[in-house]
Amino acid sequence: MRAVASVLHLDLDAFFAAVEQRDKPSLRGKPVVVGGVGGRGVVSTASYEARRYGVRSAMSTREARARCPHAAFLTGRFHAYRDTSERVMALLRSVSPLVEPLSLDEAFVDLAAADRATYPQLADLSVPSVTAFAEHLRARVEEVTGGLTASVGVASSKFLAKVASDLDKPDGLVVVPRGTERDLLRPMSVTVIPGVGPATTERLRRVGVHTVADLETLSEDELVRLLGNANGHWLHQLAQAQDDRPVVAEREAKSVSVEGTYDHDLTDRVLMEQLLTRQAVDVARRLRKAGLSGRTVTIKVRLHDFTTLNRSTTLASPTDAPATIARLARTLLADLDTSGGVRLLGVGVSGLADWVQEDLFGETTEDEEELPDVEVPHHSRRAWAPGMDVEHAEMGRGWVWGSGRGVVTVRFETAETPAGPVRSYAEDDPDLTVWRPPTPEEEPG
């Protein structure tokens, strides 16, 4: 924890849905749901107008349709999200060299490292100064994104800054003055602590721990006994708002790792475990080939929204055993909520030693894993998905409003136009094409 509130966390509001409302003027102020629109689709996010009807991220689209039948249901347009994200991250990097993105729509910014020549108001890092600066930054985000709002938290640590940015969503700002951190946390659920997923929450619930205040009553020893060394220590620290993690612009890790990206989001846990197992065997093979072993096993999981989660656990002695690495990787996965879908999985081993401790815990004697035959299913995209960008030879640019029975209906509007007209065409009308943003080389100039 720092002596002043100088860690800023920014998160865009209803990100994917807000981009859709920006680019589709007829949807502004209306319920919009972005996600899988097919039979087994899952909601990525919903505009705040749709949240009023109880629509939430990770809910089945079916359920969302039941709760808010009049919402616009759209598939995602990742090029637009990525482009918008890049503009926000560039803005943040103009404030401070220490910007740590957590996903497409959120990042930490270290205000203590900000350029004070450009931002004299940050010279003293007092509560009024950072408050004024954060308001200025939020206004700039609206400008560079073409109208998206962001919620911001500023506090003395990453943990508290992230908690704070969520407190007054959407379009909110919360600055947590130094000294008030613990009072803020006490009434909150333990799930506010990063890394406390369903499995940990359940273990704590069984011993009567629901809030951070409950957690404070347990000693570090008790927590370690309950949750293991690394987790117990971590929870003990964070329950007292003790968090000294620095904001890091780029992480470098000395490790051997294997990862895979999947061309559609994985939701099947058994399949994910099989993939991790296979990756663990790969990592072990590479370690052995290089004569290396390591103590820390890490999994990397990128969610549907590009949030990347890293979870690790550290062994008493180094290993290069596939079964051990696989078992730990699967255990780490168990505490993550992957219900929204996973697009990348990886396993790594770090803390490398150039020797393997002989069989101290019997780990190297574990049987080699049965390798499952894993096949990642492929998806064929329907040609005209709702929300998709299209261009018509005469009407110009628009988006697919709906399609079926050989007909596709398009609304002709973009971020720069007023709400536009709706027209229907035959699905195979040669005048209608999918529109893609120009790649940098194709851009004029």
In this chain, which of 10, 12, 64, 72 binds ligand TTP, going by CB under 6 A? 12
Q: Which of 106, 181, 363, 369 is catalytic?
A: 106
From 12-20, 171-179, 205-213, 239-247, span contacting ligand TTP (CB under 6 A):
12-20
CB of 416 to ligand TTP, least distance (A): 22
- Which class for 151: exposed (0-12), middle (13-18), buried (19 or more C-beta within 10 A)? buried
Cα separation, 339 vs 218, whole angstroms: 31
Q: How many residues bind Mg ion (CB under 5 A)?
A: 5
Say if residue 143 is exposed, middle or buried (CB neighbours under 10 Å; 0-12, 13-18, 19+).
exposed
For the chain, state the CA radius of gyration. 24
Tokens of 122: 């940050």
CB of 215 to ligand TTP, least distance (A): 24
**Which CB sits closer to ligand TTP, 15 or 73?**
15
The single residue among 21, 44, 312, 403 that binds ligand TTP, judged by CB under 6 A, is: 44
Tokens 């029975």 belong to 405
Q: At how many degrees (to 10) do helices 78-95 and 15-23 cross?
A: 110
How far is the C-alpha of 75 from the C-alpha of 403, rounded, in Å? 13
CA distances for 2 relative to 8, 134, 224, 242, angstroms: 12, 18, 26, 10
Q: Nearer to ligand TTP by C-beta: 67 or 304?
A: 304
The site partner of 340 among ligand TTP, Mg ion, none (C-beta below 5 to 8 Å per kind) is ligand TTP
Of 305, 335, 363, 389, the one binding ligand TTP by CB under 6 A = 305
Nearer to ligand TTP, 45 or 131 (CB): 45
Per-residue binding string, Mg ion, 73-112, x by CB under 5 A, is: --------------------------------xx------
Residue 40 burial (CB < 10 Å; 0-12/13-18/19+)?
Answer: exposed
If one counts every other C-beta atom within 10 angstroms of the C-beta of residue 310, the result is 13
Helix (H) or strand (E) holding 107: strand 106-110
Report if residue 45 touches ligand TTP, rule: CB under 6 A.
yes
Least gap, CB of 14 to ligand TTP (angstroms):
4
Picked from ligand TTP, Mg ion, none, the partner binding residue 58 (CB below 5 to 8 A depending on kind) is ligand TTP
Q: How far is the CB of 81 from ligand TTP (least distance, A)?
A: 8
Q: Verify binding: residue 181, ligand TTP, rule CB under 6 A.
A: no
Is 106 one of the annotated active-site residues of the chain? yes
Q: Does the annotation list 115 as a binding residue?
A: no
Spell out the residues 6+ positions from residue 279 whose beta carbon is closer than 8 angstroms to its own. Answer: 258, 259, 260, 329, 345, 346, 347
Q: Is 11 annotated among the ligand-binding residues?
A: yes
Q: Residues in the site for ligand TTP, rule: CB under 6 A?
A: 11-16, 44-45, 57-58, 105-106, 169-170, 304-305, 340
